[in-house]
Chains A and B, each alone.
Chain A
Amino acid sequence: MATTYRTCPASGLQFEAHAEKLMKWNAVVAVLWLLVGGIGALGVIMTRWPAFKLLPADQFYTILTAHGIDMLLMWILHFEMAVLYFASSVLLRCRIWAPKLGWGGFWLMVIGGLMTNVAIFQGESSVMFTSYVPMQAAPHFYLGLILVAVGSLIGCAIFFGTLVVAKKDKTYTGSIPMVTFGALTAAIIAVFTILSGAGILIPTFLWSVGLIKEIDAQLYRMVWWALGHSSQQINVAAHVSIWYLIPAIVIGAKPLSEKVSRGAFLLYILFLQLASAHHLLSDPGMSAEWKVLNTSYFMYFAVMASMIHGFTVPGAVEAAMRRKGFNNGLFEWLRKAPWGNPAFAGMFISLVSFGFLGGISGVVLGTEQINMLMHNTFYVPGHFHTTVVTGTTLAFMAVTYLLVPTLFRRKMIWPKLCQIQPYLFGIAMSITGLVMMGAGTLGVSRRHWDMAFSGAPFQYEWPGAAYLMMGMTGFFGVITIIGGALWIVLVVGSLLFGEKLDGGAVSDKPTPIPAATPAAAASHHGSDHVAVPGTVILALALLVAFVLYYYVNWKYLSEVWLLS
């Protein structure tokens, strides 16, 4: 298929015409889903805020189901398709493989997303994101999800195909870039995830139309989580790739060690999916040995991988800043980092919040016995709002500040507001996540319409602190939503009204990535090496917080009733 290649004059990135269009449309649809999910978030938070209790129970559960699906699947998957196409076609400077198929995948995802949303808003499919059987949704709820899964699988196939194209057309020499490697990790995990999803959603769909009589409720939970949790690992691999991407573009950062960072991505592929077992720690159907094996041996290698990225990403920033001469003391590199650049600020807040809040809480939650203190409490959404939202969503928002000028060729409007947005959203979401975890520690349930239990035969009064935490969740949740709405306004406003930028020279042929000069290769190690003492301090702070919080929870556990 005839195509053209455009080299962006500002960034030097090269966009192939078909890939460019696919990325644009996936990104635009992603933003629209974020808008729908964000309106859902407002309904959820204003209902759980005890002072308001906005929606009636049925609408609350409907909106909560939509919020989960539209955010966790629709917004993130569509954006990830754009990330995959960017990491392959743009970074490897080659044509995208089978763009027509790519459009097929795109439309499957769009139609599937709409279908599932129609099912949800018809009111008969308020089964939550997890849709645990035997609670049943309408058949088109499951069918929509299956279409989304097939569409995403096609996106992954396009990514793999594009890697082959680049190799065959020799648009680069040596190995693929780190960011592409991270995206490859995400795509491999995605294939596993989607196959697990097919393994559970197809039978569930058949059950919903009456072709299968029964699905074992425990088996469903096990297979579903191979989809449910692994899909979050795609997000982790994708947003870690963006953590490498943004500093590379903004301050010219390079990995401290290709080997270490790629090894850490490899650990994700090998071990992360198995970590989905940690959703079943308080279930009856699995043995303690199975739980310990899956949550420790397997999960801790993935945790180790995240801890490695948690070191190498800020380390790469520190090294790049020190090379620029910000060499005084331990933290001049950090103070003088480009905090006014929303892409960088968003990326760094994402890194810190994901590590300190999402990461630590996730590992504690995933400890076999400690899980009993938090299973199904508000702690769980507290945890994943500091992984998927401050981690993934904020990283995606941050990279968009780079994509709007280079991909959409529009200057961002209102630069002052752009500067504020990642702080507003990132910090408010981090605080929200923290107070959600606080409420969960006090036992408050997730997915629960009324913490006053109106209509129950008995009374139970939560501690005053729990009400305080829920009130704070409401307050900071609303600020987070304002931060998210601001991002949508800025992005959509820039796409519509932003100053048009020069697209750069268009050519019929790709310009391959120039091979590294032997001198540059030789200087890569040794002379170029920079020590990163500031990062060491940050990493140790993470470790200390991790260890203390981990043992505090064992202390809590030791105080509850005896169980055996």
Chain B
Amino acid sequence: MSSILPPSNRLWWKESIDKTEWTWIGIAFVWGMIMFVMMIYWHIYGKQNLSNEAYKTTPEMFAAKAEKFIAENTIRTETDLEIPVVKVPPGGDGYLIARLWNWYPILELQEGKEYKIHLSSMDYNHGFSLQPVNINIQVIPGYEHVVKMTPTSTGTFAIVCNEFCGIGHHTMLGRIYVK
């Protein structure tokens, strides 16, 4: 009878369900199905899907690959810290190190070209948050995530760290140039 008393009809599971309720259950079910199909649809026809390509790695292995990439492709350095600006070969691989508390190096990309950006962390979890585009990807130590990216706009972009990584978290700001 009431929600705080046992059901007055002992065989409550034999009661028929009202048409209005059935309709609403049906709507909720169909809407769930539509949302399910949307994700698959986007994998087939959408142009923003997070890459599935990831490898187990170690900070040492990843750093070695990144340093090689930086040594071969640096075009200049910036700021007092002499952070290398590295031109990623169009269609090629770029490496981005997340560590306490910077994104290293600065990457330079070209609009409309596809890049394979390798992401990994040297220490804690970090968050790759490309602004003002607003793409957010978790960066986890021990995992190398290969994300295919095609910039669709030019300018200077910031990489904010948006996973808490300690006291200097707010200073962890990186940069990507798109020409």
Contact = CB atoms under 8 A, between A and B. Distances in A.
B9 A372 contact: no
Consensus secondary structure, chain B interface: mixed
Task: Give the one of B2, B147, B150 with max A CB within 10 A.
Answer: B2
A59 to B, nearest CB: 11
Contacts of A249: 4
A400 B41 CA distance: 47
Interface string B42-69: 1100111111101000000000000000
B2 A248 contact: yes
Nearest to B40: A292
A147 interface: no
B3 A178 contact: yes
B142 interface: yes
Given A254-B1, A372-B135, A557-B48, A177 B6 contact: yes
B20 A531 contact: yes
Interface stretch (A2-10, A22-30, A386-394, A521-529): A521-529
A157 to B, nearest CB: 23
Contacts of B147: 563
A448 B171 CA distance: 10
Contacts of A257: 15, 17-18, 21
A328 interface: no
Given A448-B169, A463-B132, A255 B3 contact: yes
Contact of A443 (B31, B42, B132, B145): B132
B54 A285 contact: yes
Given A258-B12, A456-B171, A372 B50 contact: yes
A282 B17 contact: no
Interface stretch (A100-108, A306-314, A483-491, A501-509): A306-314
Interface string A420-461: 000000000000000000000111011111110111111110
Given A308-B24, A375-B138, A259 B15 contact: yes
B46 A217 contact: no
B143 A285 contact: yes
B35 A300 contact: yes
Contact of B79 (A369, A457, A547): A457
Contacts of B167: 57-58, 61
A539 B24 contact: yes
B63 to A, nearest CB: 16
A288 B49 CA distance: 9
B9 A524 contact: yes
Contacts of A259: 12-13, 15, 17
A317 to B, nearest CB: 11
A453 B39 contact: no
Task: Give the one of A135, A375, A562, A564 with max B CB within 10 A.
Answer: A564
A96 interface: no
B127 interface: yes
B110 interface: no
Given A443-B131, A453-B173, A520-B8, A562 B81 contact: no
A295 to B, nearest CB: 8
A134 B6 contact: no
B22 to A, nearest CB: 9
B150 to A, nearest CB: 4
Contacts of A369: 39, 42, 46, 48-50
Contact of A283 (B10, B47, B140, B149): B140
A560 B86 CA distance: 23
A253 interface: yes
B83 interface: yes
B94 interface: no
A560 B138 contact: no
A221 interface: yes
Interface in B120-149: 123-125, 127, 129-145, 147-149
A154 interface: no
Contacts of A218: 140, 142-143
A259 B124 CA distance: 48
B48 A560 contact: yes
Contacts of B29: 304
Contacts of A284: 54, 119, 137-140, 143-145
A554 interface: yes
Contact of A561 (B6, B21, B135, B145): B135
Interface of B: 1-10, 12-13, 15-18, 20-21, 24-25, 27-29, 31-33, 35-36, 38-40, 42-43, 46-52, 54, 79, 81, 83, 102, 114, 119, 123-125, 127, 129-145, 147-153, 158, 160-175
Nearest 3 Cβ contacts at the A-B interface: A300-B32, A284-B145, A460-B158
Given A372-B135, A458-B173, A521-B10, 7 more contacts: A135-B124, A280-B138, A307-B24, A308-B21, A367-B35, A516-B10, A521-B9
11 contacts: A91-B4, A177-B4, A284-B144, A288-B49, A292-B36, A304-B32, A367-B39, A368-B42, A557-B46, A560-B152, A563-B149
